[in-house]
Structure 1
Protein backbone atom coordinates (compact mmCIF):
# COMPACT_ATOMS: atom_id res chain seq x y z
CA UNK A 1 0.00 0.00 0.00
CA UNK A 2 1.42 3.37 -1.02
CA UNK A 3 1.99 6.09 1.58
CA UNK A 4 -0.62 8.77 2.04
CA UNK A 5 0.93 11.90 0.53
CA UNK A 6 0.26 15.07 2.52
CA UNK A 7 1.14 18.35 0.82
CA UNK A 8 2.24 20.96 3.36
CA UNK A 9 2.17 24.61 2.36
CA UNK A 10 1.62 28.12 3.66
CA UNK A 11 2.44 31.74 2.94
CA UNK A 12 5.68 33.41 3.97
CA UNK A 13 6.06 33.81 7.74
CA UNK A 14 3.34 31.32 8.61
CA UNK A 15 5.72 28.82 10.23
CA UNK A 16 5.78 26.09 7.58
CA UNK A 17 9.39 24.98 8.09
CA UNK A 18 8.93 24.74 11.85
CA UNK A 19 5.73 22.77 11.34
CA UNK A 20 7.44 20.43 8.86
CA UNK A 21 10.03 19.61 11.52
CA UNK A 22 7.19 18.64 13.88
CA UNK A 23 6.05 15.98 11.40
CA UNK A 24 9.66 14.73 11.19
CA UNK A 25 9.79 14.58 15.00
CA UNK A 26 6.85 12.14 14.83
CA UNK A 27 8.77 9.91 12.43
CA UNK A 28 7.05 11.10 9.26
CA UNK A 29 9.40 11.34 6.24
CA UNK A 30 9.48 14.96 4.97
CA UNK A 31 10.62 16.16 1.55
CA UNK A 32 11.50 19.86 1.45
CA UNK A 33 11.19 21.51 -1.99
CA UNK A 34 13.51 24.37 -1.02
CA UNK A 35 16.20 21.95 0.19
CA UNK A 36 15.86 20.01 -3.06
CA UNK A 37 16.51 23.19 -5.07
CA UNK A 38 19.59 23.91 -2.91
CA UNK A 39 20.91 20.41 -3.62
CA UNK A 40 20.26 20.78 -7.34
CA UNK A 41 21.98 24.20 -7.45
CA UNK A 42 24.80 23.13 -5.12
CA UNK A 43 28.34 22.07 -5.92
CA UNK A 44 28.25 18.97 -8.10
CA UNK A 45 24.47 19.27 -8.44
CA UNK A 46 22.76 18.48 -11.73
CA UNK A 47 21.73 22.07 -12.57
CA UNK A 48 25.18 23.64 -12.90
CA UNK A 49 26.17 22.24 -16.29
CA UNK A 50 22.91 22.91 -18.14
CA UNK A 51 22.56 26.42 -16.66
CA UNK A 52 26.13 27.34 -17.61
CA UNK A 53 25.24 26.66 -21.24
CA UNK A 54 22.38 29.19 -21.02
CA UNK A 55 24.19 32.07 -19.38
CA UNK A 56 27.78 32.79 -18.42
CA UNK A 57 29.22 33.80 -15.07
CA UNK A 58 26.57 32.25 -12.82
CA UNK A 59 28.22 28.87 -12.16
CA UNK A 60 31.27 28.62 -9.88
CA UNK A 61 34.35 26.46 -10.47
CA UNK A 62 32.96 23.68 -8.28
CA UNK A 63 29.78 23.55 -10.38
CA UNK A 64 27.48 25.38 -7.96
CA UNK A 65 24.99 27.92 -9.25
CA UNK A 66 25.57 31.40 -7.79
CA UNK A 67 21.94 32.30 -7.10
CA UNK A 68 22.68 36.01 -6.58
CA UNK A 69 24.41 36.16 -9.97
CA UNK A 70 21.56 34.20 -11.50
CA UNK A 71 19.01 36.72 -10.17
CA UNK A 72 21.01 39.52 -11.81
CA UNK A 73 21.14 37.60 -15.11
CA UNK A 74 17.37 37.01 -15.00
CA UNK A 75 16.75 40.71 -14.28
CA UNK A 76 18.80 41.59 -17.36
CA UNK A 77 17.10 38.94 -19.53
CA UNK A 78 13.54 38.21 -18.34
CA UNK A 79 13.17 35.40 -20.87
CA UNK A 80 15.98 33.53 -19.13
CA UNK A 81 13.72 32.54 -16.23
CA UNK A 82 11.51 30.32 -18.40
CA UNK A 83 14.57 28.59 -19.85
CA UNK A 84 15.99 28.02 -16.36
CA UNK A 85 12.65 26.57 -15.23
CA UNK A 86 12.68 24.03 -18.06
CA UNK A 87 15.94 22.74 -16.58
CA UNK A 88 15.19 22.97 -12.87
CA UNK A 89 11.56 21.80 -12.68
CA UNK A 90 12.26 18.29 -14.06
CA UNK A 91 15.25 17.97 -11.70
CA UNK A 92 13.08 18.90 -8.71
CA UNK A 93 10.41 16.42 -9.86
CA UNK A 94 13.06 13.68 -10.13
CA UNK A 95 14.33 14.48 -6.61
CA UNK A 96 10.77 14.24 -5.28
CA UNK A 97 10.15 10.95 -7.11
CA UNK A 98 13.35 9.50 -5.63
CA UNK A 99 12.17 10.52 -2.14
CA UNK A 100 8.78 8.88 -2.66
CA UNK A 101 10.40 5.69 -3.93
CA UNK A 102 12.83 5.58 -0.99
CA UNK A 103 9.93 5.97 1.46
CA UNK A 104 7.47 3.70 -0.32
CA UNK A 105 6.82 1.63 2.80
CA UNK A 106 5.93 4.63 5.02
CA UNK A 107 2.37 5.17 6.21
CA UNK A 108 2.45 8.91 5.53
CA UNK A 109 4.91 11.20 3.78
CA UNK A 110 4.92 14.99 3.82
CA UNK A 111 5.86 17.08 0.78
CA UNK A 112 6.81 20.54 2.05
CA UNK A 113 6.13 22.78 -0.97
CA UNK A 114 5.91 26.57 -0.45
CA UNK A 115 4.14 27.33 -3.74
CA UNK A 116 1.92 24.23 -3.82
CA UNK A 117 -1.24 26.09 -4.90
CA UNK A 118 0.59 28.62 -7.04
CA UNK A 119 2.18 25.88 -9.18
CA UNK A 120 -0.94 23.71 -9.42
CA UNK A 121 0.70 20.93 -7.42
CA UNK A 122 -2.16 20.43 -4.97
CA UNK A 123 -3.99 18.11 -7.37
CA UNK A 124 -1.20 15.53 -7.06
CA UNK A 125 -1.54 15.31 -3.25
CA UNK A 126 -3.80 12.93 -1.35
CA UNK A 127 -4.44 15.64 1.23
CA UNK A 128 -3.28 19.23 1.69
CA UNK A 129 -2.52 21.00 4.98
CA UNK A 130 -1.99 24.75 5.22
CA UNK A 131 -0.14 26.43 8.08
CA UNK A 132 -1.67 29.74 9.11
CA UNK A 133 -1.69 32.47 11.72
CA UNK A 134 -3.09 36.00 11.86
CA UNK A 135 -1.75 38.67 9.52
CA UNK A 136 -0.12 40.74 12.29
CA UNK A 137 1.88 37.75 13.56
CA UNK A 138 2.86 36.86 10.00
CA UNK A 139 4.10 40.40 9.31
CA UNK A 140 6.06 40.57 12.57
CA UNK A 141 7.78 37.23 11.92
CA UNK A 142 8.81 38.19 8.39
CA UNK A 143 10.04 41.68 9.28
CA UNK A 144 12.21 40.19 12.05
CA UNK A 145 14.22 38.32 9.39
CA UNK A 146 17.63 39.79 8.50
CA UNK A 147 17.52 42.07 5.46
CA UNK A 148 13.73 42.06 5.22
CA UNK A 149 11.71 45.26 4.80
CA UNK A 150 8.07 46.18 4.18
CA UNK A 151 8.48 46.57 0.42
CA UNK A 152 10.13 43.17 0.01
CA UNK A 153 7.52 41.54 2.21
CA UNK A 154 4.66 43.05 0.22
CA UNK A 155 6.27 42.02 -3.07
CA UNK A 156 6.70 38.41 -1.89
CA UNK A 157 3.15 38.35 -0.55
CA UNK A 158 1.74 39.60 -3.86
CA UNK A 159 3.14 36.54 -5.64
CA UNK A 160 1.40 34.10 -3.31
CA UNK A 161 -2.18 32.87 -3.21
CA UNK A 162 -3.87 34.77 -0.34
CA UNK A 163 -3.91 32.95 3.00
CA UNK A 164 -7.72 32.96 3.16
CA UNK A 165 -7.93 31.21 -0.21
CA UNK A 166 -5.31 28.65 0.82
CA UNK A 167 -7.26 27.84 3.98
CA UNK A 168 -10.47 27.49 1.97
CA UNK A 169 -8.84 25.11 -0.52
CA UNK A 170 -6.94 22.98 2.01
CA UNK A 171 -8.17 19.78 3.65
CA UNK A 172 -6.62 20.82 6.97
CA UNK A 173 -5.48 24.07 8.56
CA UNK A 174 -2.67 23.93 11.14
CA UNK A 175 -2.73 26.99 13.42
CA UNK A 176 0.79 28.24 14.16
CA UNK A 177 -0.01 30.98 16.68
CA UNK A 178 2.46 29.32 19.05
CA UNK A 179 4.57 26.17 19.14
CA UNK A 180 2.37 24.18 21.51
CA UNK A 181 -0.75 24.83 19.44
CA UNK A 182 0.99 23.82 16.23
CA UNK A 183 2.55 20.71 17.79
CA UNK A 184 -0.81 19.54 19.14
CA UNK A 185 -2.47 20.13 15.75
CA UNK A 186 0.25 18.17 13.93
CA UNK A 187 -0.05 15.24 16.36
CA UNK A 188 -3.83 15.19 15.96
CA UNK A 189 -3.55 15.37 12.16
CA UNK A 190 -1.06 12.49 12.00
CA UNK A 191 -3.35 10.33 14.15
CA UNK A 192 -6.31 11.22 11.93
CA UNK A 193 -4.42 10.41 8.72
CA UNK A 194 -3.18 7.09 10.13
CA UNK A 195 -6.76 6.14 11.05
CA UNK A 196 -7.98 7.20 7.60
CA UNK A 197 -5.29 5.13 5.91
CA UNK A 198 -6.14 2.06 8.02
CA UNK A 199 -9.82 2.48 7.16
CA UNK A 200 -9.05 2.62 3.44
CA UNK A 201 -6.67 -0.35 3.52
Structure 2
Protein backbone atom coordinates (compact mmCIF):
# COMPACT_ATOMS: atom_id res chain seq x y z
CA UNK A 1 0.00 0.00 0.00
CA UNK A 2 1.40 3.39 -1.00
CA UNK A 3 2.13 6.23 1.36
CA UNK A 4 0.17 9.19 0.02
CA UNK A 5 1.97 12.49 0.53
CA UNK A 6 -0.27 15.51 0.18
CA UNK A 7 1.56 18.43 -1.45
CA UNK A 8 0.11 21.88 -1.02
CA UNK A 9 0.98 25.55 -0.74
CA UNK A 10 -0.53 28.96 -1.26
CA UNK A 11 -0.57 30.77 -4.59
CA UNK A 12 2.89 31.70 -5.87
CA UNK A 13 4.82 29.47 -3.45
CA UNK A 14 6.42 27.28 -6.14
CA UNK A 15 4.33 24.14 -5.73
CA UNK A 16 4.44 23.22 -9.43
CA UNK A 17 8.24 23.42 -9.39
CA UNK A 18 8.39 21.16 -6.34
CA UNK A 19 5.93 18.68 -7.88
CA UNK A 20 8.25 18.45 -10.90
CA UNK A 21 11.14 17.63 -8.56
CA UNK A 22 9.22 14.67 -7.14
CA UNK A 23 8.50 13.46 -10.68
CA UNK A 24 12.19 13.76 -11.56
CA UNK A 25 12.88 11.36 -8.69
CA UNK A 26 10.44 8.84 -10.15
CA UNK A 27 7.61 9.55 -7.70
CA UNK A 28 4.13 9.47 -9.30
CA UNK A 29 2.34 12.81 -8.83
CA UNK A 30 -1.40 13.39 -9.14
CA UNK A 31 -1.90 16.99 -10.28
CA UNK A 32 -5.34 18.25 -9.22
CA UNK A 33 -5.05 21.42 -11.31
CA UNK A 34 -4.22 19.38 -14.41
CA UNK A 35 -7.26 17.19 -13.75
CA UNK A 36 -9.44 20.31 -13.58
CA UNK A 37 -7.96 21.58 -16.85
CA UNK A 38 -8.78 18.26 -18.55
CA UNK A 39 -12.35 18.36 -17.25
CA UNK A 40 -12.74 21.95 -18.50
CA UNK A 41 -10.68 21.68 -21.68
CA UNK A 42 -11.79 20.92 -25.26
CA UNK A 43 -14.27 18.04 -25.11
CA UNK A 44 -14.04 18.05 -21.31
CA UNK A 45 -16.53 16.07 -19.26
CA UNK A 46 -17.84 19.13 -17.41
CA UNK A 47 -18.19 21.63 -20.25
CA UNK A 48 -21.95 21.30 -20.69
CA UNK A 49 -22.63 21.48 -16.96
CA UNK A 50 -20.42 24.55 -16.52
CA UNK A 51 -22.05 26.25 -19.50
CA UNK A 52 -25.46 25.55 -17.96
CA UNK A 53 -24.36 27.24 -14.73
CA UNK A 54 -22.60 30.16 -16.45
CA UNK A 55 -23.74 30.69 -20.06
CA UNK A 56 -21.09 32.11 -22.35
CA UNK A 57 -18.00 30.88 -20.49
CA UNK A 58 -17.24 27.92 -22.76
CA UNK A 59 -16.27 27.55 -26.41
CA UNK A 60 -14.35 25.28 -28.81
CA UNK A 61 -11.25 25.67 -26.65
CA UNK A 62 -13.09 24.63 -23.50
CA UNK A 63 -13.77 26.90 -20.54
CA UNK A 64 -12.60 30.50 -20.75
CA UNK A 65 -10.95 30.56 -17.31
CA UNK A 66 -10.88 34.36 -17.17
CA UNK A 67 -14.63 34.62 -17.80
CA UNK A 68 -15.41 31.79 -15.41
CA UNK A 69 -13.21 33.35 -12.75
CA UNK A 70 -15.02 36.68 -13.16
CA UNK A 71 -18.36 34.88 -12.79
CA UNK A 72 -17.54 33.16 -9.51
CA UNK A 73 -14.87 35.24 -7.77
CA UNK A 74 -16.42 37.10 -4.86
CA UNK A 75 -19.67 35.14 -5.23
CA UNK A 76 -19.63 32.40 -2.59
CA UNK A 77 -22.81 30.72 -3.81
CA UNK A 78 -21.62 30.54 -7.43
CA UNK A 79 -18.19 29.31 -6.34
CA UNK A 80 -19.73 26.63 -4.12
CA UNK A 81 -21.94 25.39 -6.98
CA UNK A 82 -18.96 25.18 -9.30
CA UNK A 83 -16.89 23.32 -6.70
CA UNK A 84 -19.72 20.83 -6.10
CA UNK A 85 -19.53 20.08 -9.81
CA UNK A 86 -15.76 19.83 -10.13
CA UNK A 87 -14.50 18.28 -6.89
CA UNK A 88 -16.29 14.89 -7.15
CA UNK A 89 -14.88 14.37 -10.67
CA UNK A 90 -11.37 15.30 -9.56
CA UNK A 91 -11.73 12.88 -6.65
CA UNK A 92 -12.70 10.08 -9.06
CA UNK A 93 -9.56 10.77 -11.09
CA UNK A 94 -7.44 10.82 -7.93
CA UNK A 95 -8.79 7.43 -6.86
CA UNK A 96 -8.06 5.97 -10.30
CA UNK A 97 -4.53 7.35 -10.06
CA UNK A 98 -3.99 5.78 -6.62
CA UNK A 99 -5.26 2.42 -7.86
CA UNK A 100 -2.90 2.59 -10.85
CA UNK A 101 0.12 3.25 -8.62
CA UNK A 102 -0.91 1.26 -5.55
CA UNK A 103 2.21 -0.93 -5.78
CA UNK A 104 4.52 2.11 -5.49
CA UNK A 105 5.86 2.85 -2.00
CA UNK A 106 5.19 6.60 -2.32
CA UNK A 107 2.85 8.74 -4.38
CA UNK A 108 2.21 12.48 -4.21
CA UNK A 109 -1.20 14.15 -4.38
CA UNK A 110 -0.71 17.77 -5.46
CA UNK A 111 -3.81 19.53 -4.09
CA UNK A 112 -3.83 23.36 -3.83
CA UNK A 113 -6.78 23.46 -1.40
CA UNK A 114 -5.73 20.42 0.63
CA UNK A 115 -6.65 22.00 3.98
CA UNK A 116 -9.43 24.29 2.84
CA UNK A 117 -11.58 21.54 1.29
CA UNK A 118 -10.80 18.74 3.75
CA UNK A 119 -8.59 16.66 1.46
CA UNK A 120 -5.95 16.49 4.21
CA UNK A 121 -8.01 13.66 5.70
CA UNK A 122 -7.29 11.51 2.63
CA UNK A 123 -3.48 11.61 2.78
CA UNK A 124 -0.94 10.03 5.12
CA UNK A 125 1.53 12.89 5.37
CA UNK A 126 1.53 16.56 4.34
CA UNK A 127 4.26 18.69 2.73
CA UNK A 128 3.73 22.44 2.49
CA UNK A 129 5.66 24.54 -0.02
CA UNK A 130 6.52 27.93 1.45
CA UNK A 131 8.39 31.12 0.57
CA UNK A 132 8.62 34.59 2.15
CA UNK A 133 5.61 36.83 1.51
CA UNK A 134 7.63 39.33 -0.55
CA UNK A 135 8.76 36.58 -2.91
CA UNK A 136 5.24 35.19 -3.17
CA UNK A 137 3.92 38.66 -4.06
CA UNK A 138 6.60 39.21 -6.70
CA UNK A 139 5.90 35.84 -8.34
CA UNK A 140 2.13 36.27 -8.44
CA UNK A 141 2.07 39.91 -9.50
CA UNK A 142 4.45 39.05 -12.33
CA UNK A 143 1.77 36.86 -13.92
CA UNK A 144 -0.31 38.18 -16.79
CA UNK A 145 -3.65 39.60 -15.70
CA UNK A 146 -2.78 39.60 -11.99
CA UNK A 147 -3.37 42.54 -9.64
CA UNK A 148 -3.27 43.18 -5.90
CA UNK A 149 -7.06 43.00 -5.79
CA UNK A 150 -7.11 39.63 -7.54
CA UNK A 151 -4.30 38.33 -5.31
CA UNK A 152 -6.22 39.35 -2.19
CA UNK A 153 -9.34 37.60 -3.49
CA UNK A 154 -7.38 34.38 -3.96
CA UNK A 155 -5.71 34.74 -0.56
CA UNK A 156 -9.11 35.11 1.09
CA UNK A 157 -9.99 31.60 -0.11
CA UNK A 158 -6.75 30.05 1.18
CA UNK A 159 -5.54 29.17 4.66
CA UNK A 160 -2.66 31.50 5.57
CA UNK A 161 0.83 30.16 4.90
CA UNK A 162 1.77 30.19 8.59
CA UNK A 163 -1.27 28.06 9.47
CA UNK A 164 -0.41 25.59 6.71
CA UNK A 165 3.17 25.29 7.95
CA UNK A 166 1.96 24.57 11.49
CA UNK A 167 -0.15 21.67 10.21
CA UNK A 168 2.51 20.20 7.92
CA UNK A 169 4.65 17.14 8.50
CA UNK A 170 7.25 18.69 6.18
CA UNK A 171 7.90 22.27 5.00
CA UNK A 172 9.66 22.70 1.65
CA UNK A 173 11.39 26.09 1.37
CA UNK A 174 11.30 27.77 -2.04
CA UNK A 175 12.54 31.22 -1.09
CA UNK A 176 16.23 30.45 -1.46
CA UNK A 177 18.30 28.43 -3.89
CA UNK A 178 16.94 25.66 -6.08
CA UNK A 179 19.54 23.36 -4.52
CA UNK A 180 18.05 23.94 -1.05
CA UNK A 181 14.60 23.05 -2.34
CA UNK A 182 15.88 19.91 -4.10
CA UNK A 183 17.64 18.81 -0.92
CA UNK A 184 14.39 19.19 1.04
CA UNK A 185 12.56 17.06 -1.52
CA UNK A 186 15.23 14.36 -1.31
CA UNK A 187 15.00 14.30 2.50
CA UNK A 188 11.22 13.98 2.38
CA UNK A 189 11.38 11.10 -0.09
CA UNK A 190 13.91 9.31 2.13
CA UNK A 191 11.79 9.90 5.26
CA UNK A 192 8.64 8.61 3.56
CA UNK A 193 10.41 5.55 2.20
CA UNK A 194 11.84 4.78 5.65
CA UNK A 195 8.41 5.14 7.19
CA UNK A 196 6.97 2.78 4.58
CA UNK A 197 9.63 0.15 5.32
CA UNK A 198 9.23 0.43 9.09
CA UNK A 199 5.44 0.64 8.92
Q: TM-score, normalised by structure 1?
A: 0.89
How many angstroms does 1:110 deviate by? Answer: 0.4
Map of 1:98 onto structure 2? 96
Q: 2:174 aligns with which of 173, 176, 180?
A: 176
Spell out the pairing of 1:14-163 with structure 2 (5 A cutoff).
14-61=13-60, 64-74=62-72, 79-163=77-161
Task: List gaps (5 residues or longer) in structure 2.
Answer: none
CA offsets per residue over residues 1-25 of structure 1, 9 Å max, x none?
Answer: x110000001111111100100000
How far apart in 1 are the matches of 2:76 and 2:124? Answer: 35
Q: 1:92-121 CA distances to partner (integer Å, 9 max, x unpaired)?
A: 111111111111111111011111111111
SS at match of 2:104: coil
Q: Which of these two proteins has the greater Rg computed from alpha carbons?
A: 1
Contact map agreement 1:9 1:114 (CA 8 A) in 2: yes
SS in structure 1 of the partner of residue 82 of structure 2? helix
Give the corresponding residue for 2:191.
Answer: 192
Distance in 2 (alpha carbons) for counterparts of 1:35 and 1:29: 14
Identify the residue that residue 9 of structure 1 maps to in structure 2. 8
Segments of 5+ residues of structure 1 without an aligned counterpart are none
Q: Count residues in correspondence.
A: 198
Q: 1:163 to 1:69 in 2, by over 3 A?
A: closer
Please state how far the C-alpha of 1:149 moved relative to its aligned partner: 2.5
Contact between 2:127 and 2:168, CA under 8 Å: does it hold in 1? yes
